[in-house]
Amino acid sequence: MTETCDLLVAGAGPAGLAHAFWRRRARPDLRVLVAEAAPRAGGWVRTVMRDGWTCEAGPQGFRPNADSDALLDALELRDEVVPAAAAAKRRWVVQDGRLVALPAGPLQLLTTPLFRFRDLLRLVREPWVPRGGTPDESMSAFLSRRFGPATRPLAEAMAHGIFAGDADRLEMRSMFPMAVECEERHGSVLRGLRRRPRPNPRPPRRPVLCSLRGGMERSIRALAEALGESVLLGAPVQRVRREGEGYLVDLGGSRPRRFLAREVALAIPAHAAAGVVAGLDATLAEELRGIRAASVVSVYVGAPRDAFAAPLDGFGFLAPKHPSPLLGVLMTGALFPEHAPAGHMLLRAMSGGAEHPDEAERSDAELLGQARHWLGEYLGMRGQPSFVHVERTRNAIAQYESGHAARLARIAARTAALPGLRLLGASYRQVSVVGQWAEQGSHP
Ligand SMILES: Cc1cc2nc3c(=O)[nH]c(=O)nc-3n(C[C@H](O)[C@H](O)[C@H](O)COP(=O)(O)OP(=O)(O)OC[C@H]3O[C@@H](n4cnc5c(N)ncnc54)[C@H](O)[C@@H]3O)c2cc1C
C-alpha cells in the first residue's frame, strides 16, 4: 500500500529534524514525516551521562549566532543555554613536543615562539602579496602563499580542529569562503577584513562556545518532541524514484513502508544519499559518492584536578600533522565544569581523522593507553584516571576537499532537474551543528 505525505525528510540528525521543524512551523497543515535509519534520533549529537561525568559523542557545543538564537527561541530552550567558561579563549598548539599558547591578540604575535621575527615580517606583508592561487587551492597552500610558510603548522592544527582533516587536501574556498572572497575583492585578506562593514552599534560579544543543560542531546530531544509521531525510527530510506510530480520513497526496517511524497529532503550523509538516489540519477549518485568523510575517536579521561602538572584553564590544544594520530585535546571539564564531578577534570583526546582512517578500528585498551601517554606528555598527568569513556564516530566529518565547491555546483545543477528533491546536511556546506539548525539549512 502506498501512503502519502507532503514532505518526507530522510535522516533525523540536526539537519533533518531542524528542516522538518521549520517547515511544519511555517505550514502546520502539511503532512511532514522524518524517516531515520537508527533506533534513535540525533545523528552524531549524543550525550552520555555517567556517575557525574558528561561526555559528548559528537559536537562538544555550538558557536552561538542568529541561527542558534532562532531555533533555541522557537524550542523555548534559550534559558537552558550554558556558555563555556571565559577561560575558553585560551588555546594551545603543539610545537616541538610541547604546548605553545596561541597569540590572543596582535601584540602577543611579537612574543610568541610560533613565529620568528622574519616570519612576522612576511605575515604583515600580506596586503602586498599579489592575487593568485587556483579556485580549488588547499588551505595550507592559500595560507602559505598569502601569509608565508611559517603558517603551515597552524593551518594543519586548524584543519585538525575543525574538520579532523588534512590541510593539504581541504579546500580553502569551501572552508573559509570569506578569506577567499577578501582576496578576490580587495586583493588581500587583511585589507578585506578591515573593510568589512561593521554593525553600529557593535553587538555584545558572544561566548566562543555554548552547550545546553543536559548536554547537546537536549536540542535533539526538544526537536523530536516538537515533531512527535512524525519521526519514524528504525526506518531507513532505501530508494527514491520519480512518480508523476512527486517521489516514491521506500522505507526499509522491520516495517517496510512506501510513501508518495510531493517533496523529499535527504538530510543524510552524502555517501548514504548516493545509494538512495542511484536509480534516480546515476551521475548525481557518483558526485555524492565523491564527498569523503573522516572518522574520529574521542577518548574521555577524568581525574582529580591535582593529577595534572599543567594548568587546565582553557579550551584545549591542537596538534599539527604528525606521524601520531593525535588531533587535539579538549579541556571539557574546564569549558563546562558541570561535566565533571567537583574537584575533577575531564579531558577529551581526539584522534584519527582523514590522515589516520584506521584509528577507529583499534581496541579500547590501545586507544586508552595512547591517550594517557599524550595527557602525560603534554599536560603532566600522573596516576590512574577516575573515569574513562571511548567513542568512535565513523565516517562522521565530511571533508570539503579540493574541488568541493565545483562539485557542489555540479550537484546543484543535477538537483535543479529534480524539483521537490533537496539535499541537506553537513556533507555540503557548514560542517557545524548550527549550520544545520538554520531555517534554510545547508545544501548545495
Ligand atoms: C566527533 C565529532 C565532533 C564534532 N564537534 C562539533 C562541535 O564541537 N561543534 C559543531 O558545531 N559541530 C561538531 N560536529 C559536527 C556536527 O556533529 C554535525 O554538523 C552534525 O551532526 C551534522 O548533522 P546532519 O544532520 O547533517 O548529519 P548527521 O548528524 O550525520 O545525521 C544524519 C542522520 O541520517 C541518518 N541516516 C543515514 N542514512 C540514512 C537513511 N538511508 N535513511 C534514513 N536515515 C539515515 C543517520 O542515522 C543520522 O541520524 C562534530 C562531529 C563529530 C563527529
Q: Would you say the CB of residue 84 lies under 6 angstroms from ligand 1? A: no
pTM for this predicted structure: 0.96
pLDDT value for 218: 98
Do residues 340 and 270 both lie within one domain?
no
Query: Domain boundary at 137, 165, 195, which?
Result: 195
DSSP 8-state assignment for residue 419 = T
Do residues 275 and 246 both lie within one domain?
yes
CB 62 within 8 A of CB 38: no
395: confidence class by pLDDT, cuts 50, 70, 90 = very high
Q: Which amino acid is at 103?
A: P
Do residues 286 and 405 both lie within one domain?
yes
pLDDT value for 110: 83
Do residues 278 and 405 both lie within one domain?
yes
The angle formed by the CA atoms of residues 7, 12 and 13, to the nearest 5 degrees, is 130
**Ligand 1 center from residue 268 Cα (angstroms):** 8
> What is the atom index within ligand 1 of the atom nearest the CA of 434?
11
SS3 content of the chain, % helix, strand, coil (to 5): 40, 25, 35
For the cut 80, the answer to whether the pLDDT of residue 66 exceeds it is yes
Mean pLDDT across the stretch 232-256?
97
172: confidence class by pLDDT, cuts 50, 70, 90 = very high
Dihedral sign from CA coordinates of 373, 378, 384, 386: negative
DSSP 8-state assignment for residue 315 = S
109: confidence class by pLDDT, cuts 50, 70, 90 = confident
pLDDT value for 5: 97
For the cut 80, the answer to whether the pLDDT of residue 137 exceeds it is yes
For the cut 90, the answer to whether the pLDDT of residue 89 exceeds it is no
Do residues 243 and 329 both lie within one domain?
no
Phi/psi for 427 (5° steps) reads -65, -20
Do residues 394 and 299 both lie within one domain?
yes
Question: Residue 239 burial by CB count (10 A; 0-12/13-18/19+): exposed, middle or buried?
Answer: middle
3-state DSSP assignment of residue 364: helix
CATH number for the domain including 347?
3.90.660.20
Cite the beta strand spans of 196-343 per DSSP E.
210-212, 231-232, 237-243, 246-251, 257-266, 293-304, 316-318, 326-330
Residue 67 belongs to some domain of the structure = yes
Do residues 284 and 420 both lie within one domain?
yes
Q: Would you say the CB of residue 240 lies under 6 angstroms from ligand 1? A: no
DSSP 8-state assignment for residue 268 = S
For the cut 80, the answer to whether the pLDDT of residue 256 exceeds it is yes
CB 140 within 8 A of CB 168: yes
Q: Would you say the CB of residue 190 lies under 6 angstroms from ligand 1? A: no
Share of the chain above pLDDT 90, in %: 90
For the cut 80, the answer to whether the pLDDT of residue 130 exceeds it is yes
**Residue of 433, 436, 437, 440 to test ligand 1 pocket, by largest number of atoms within 8 Å of CB:** 433
Residue 23 belongs to some domain of the structure = yes
- 100 vs 83: CA distance, rounded Å: 25
CATH number for the domain including 231?
3.50.50.60
Do residues 340 and 303 both lie within one domain?
yes
For the cut 90, the answer to whether the pLDDT of residue 362 exceeds it is yes
Do residues 302 and 379 both lie within one domain?
yes
Residue 171's DSSP bridge partners are 138
pLDDT value for 311: 84
- 250 vs 258: CA distance, rounded Å: 5
**Ligand 1 center from residue 395 Cα (angstroms):** 10
Domain that holds residue 141: 115-195
Residue 181 belongs to some domain of the structure = yes
**Ligand 1 center from residue 433 Cα (angstroms):** 8
441 or 320: which carries more pLDDT confidence? 320
pLDDT value for 124: 94
Q: Would you say the CB of residue 316 lies under 6 angstroms from ligand 1? A: no
pLDDT, tens only, 365-375: 999 999 999 99
Mean pLDDT across the stretch 105-118?
88
CB 420 within 8 A of CB 264: yes
Grid cell, residue 153, equals 603548522
Task: Report the chain's mean pLDDT, rounded to a whole number.
Answer: 95
Mean pLDDT across the stretch 135-148?
97
Q: How many structural domains compose the chain?
A: 3
